[in-house]
Amino acid sequence: MVREAEALRHRTGGLDVRLVAAADLDAGRLAPLKELGVDVSASAETLIQRDDIDVIIELIGGIEPACTFVQRALRAGKSVVTANKALLATAGRDIFAAAKEGRSAVGFGASVCGGIPVLLAMRTGLVANEISSLMGIVNGTCNYILTRMTREGADYDHSLDEAQARGYAEADPTLDVEGHDSAHKLAILATLAFRAPASLDAIPCEGISRLEGVDVAYAREMGYVVKLLAIGKRTDRGAELRVNPTLLPGDHPLASVSDVYNAVEVNGHAVGTVMFYGRGAGRMPTASTVVADLVEVARGAAPRGDGQLSFWADAEPLPLLPAGDGRMRFYVRFNVKDEHGVLGRIASILGEHKVSIASVIQKEPGAAHGKANESVHVVMLSHEARESDFKAALLEIDACDFITQPSSFLRIEGH
């Protein structure tokens, strides 16, 4: 720690950041700090009341009691650095209201994508830009699982087991694989990008736990990879925000982001497309950004609650595009009886709903996947269509007598 502090002083041109006190309900965990002369306590409140403390780093996690402590610290004029994405995504408005009142700063760079300085870039390096859209692989667990499914043709359950064995997935992986973690990060990214508080509850969120290996394989055959994407787009009628497994063309910059790596692509009116890539989680990458935030706060360079980000407390919530109104391309696999005329009937129902077909392949799944089956797979890529039109067409097709199992679909981005 002493060596790191010295190195940091050197790299910042002499900034002297000292750890003076730490609080943890489990005092035993603080023993190594106590030996270094840091005041330790079981009460976070003691940190808030000390006059010689300028910045508090919140490492509690979760909403409460972190939320109460953070607000109290901010109101008391102490700046707070936190990597707590759940806190920002659900209680950002209260946090920034407190920061505004206390004229204090909130450093939250590590709350999205750990070591990747993407929030920093959106606040500062890209400040000249109106952001039109962003698209990110923001969950390493899902990206690891999808990489295994794509490269090795493994199924979801097997890939999840492997991720757990390597420590890349929790014992209960729900928060990651169902997309909730990605939605938290999207809420924060979208709030910064579109400069209005994005409501977490309003983000349609679909994970990867129901993704079938066969669809990953067909996508690959057609030149695409499947990624869990957090997507935010500015439209004339509100922002379109969603988290879902998505097909990306194989030559898209995000397509080659593999294993536990994260990346976020941002489109600005001046800069065009920029992308930020790196480790989105882990102790050291997260610490890298927490320290960067601390330095920014210490320099007085972090935006205070009454500054650049005050809109988080004040502004109306980000207006959203009504559900189903988004326009996009779709991948769809129909499971149909091997009968004459089926393709024509599917095409005609799609056409009635203004969905046109860009390409189609028909497969005998028995032959391709080692088991006999009386049904065949008809796999289609659509041109751009309205989401609600596409879903209405799907409902109608799935009710037809030639369908053997409900169809499965995925969205396509990146063209």
415 binds a copy of itself (CB under 8 A): no
Prior bond to 319 cis, omega within 30? Answer: no
Two structure tokens written together for 154? 């493994």
Please say which residue, 5 or 323, places its beta carbon nearer to a copy of itself. Answer: 5
Two structure tokens written together for 336? 């149909």
316 binds a copy of itself (CB under 8 A): no
Is the distance from CB of 197 to CB of 312 less than 8 angstroms? yes
For residue 43, give the DSSP letter. -
User: By C-alpha distance, which of 306, 260, 249, 240 is closest to 99?
Assistant: 306
* CB-side neighbour CA atoms (13 Å) of 372: 0
Q: Is 185 a catalytic residue?
A: yes
132 binds a copy of itself (CB under 8 A): no
User: By C-alpha distance, which of 382, 392, 327 is closest to 353?
Assistant: 392
Beta carbon of residue 89, minimum distance to a copy of itself (angstroms, whole number): 21
126 binds a copy of itself (CB under 8 A): yes
Q: Name 29's Cβ contacts closer than 8 Å, sequence gap at least 6.
A: none
| Binder of a copy of itself out of 8, 21, 33, 357 (CB under 8 A) | 8
Size of the site for a copy of itself (CB under 8 A): 60
Please say which residue, 267 or 375, places its beta carbon nearer to a copy of itself. Answer: 267
Please say which residue, 53 or 264, places its beta carbon nearer to a copy of itself. Answer: 264
The CA distances from residue 124 to 127, 193, 195, 196, 286, in Å, are 5, 12, 13, 17, 20
Q: Which helix (H) or strand (E) covers residue 379, if one does?
A: strand 375-382
Beta carbon of residue 308, minimum distance to a copy of itself (angstroms, whole number): 4
Q: Which of residues 32-51 bind a copy of itself (CB under 8 A)?
A: none
Beta carbon of residue 49, minimum distance to a copy of itself (angstroms, whole number): 28
Active-site annotation holder among 185, 227, 354, 363: 185
Beta carbon of residue 141, minimum distance to a copy of itself (angstroms, whole number): 17
Q: What is the 3-state secondary structure (H, E, C) of 231-293?
A: EEEEECCEEEEEEEEEEEECCCHHHHCCCCEEEEEEEECCCEEEEEEEECCCHHHHHHHHHHH
| Binder of a copy of itself out of 190, 203, 309, 385 (CB under 8 A) | 309
Q: Which of residues 258-287 bind a copy of itself (CB under 8 A)?
A: 258, 263, 268-279, 282, 284-285, 287
Q: Which residues are catalytic?
A: 185
Contacts to a copy of itself by CB under 8 A: 7-8, 10-14, 109, 115-117, 120-121, 124-130, 195, 251, 253, 255-258, 263, 268-279, 282, 284-285, 287-292, 295-296, 299-301, 303, 307-311
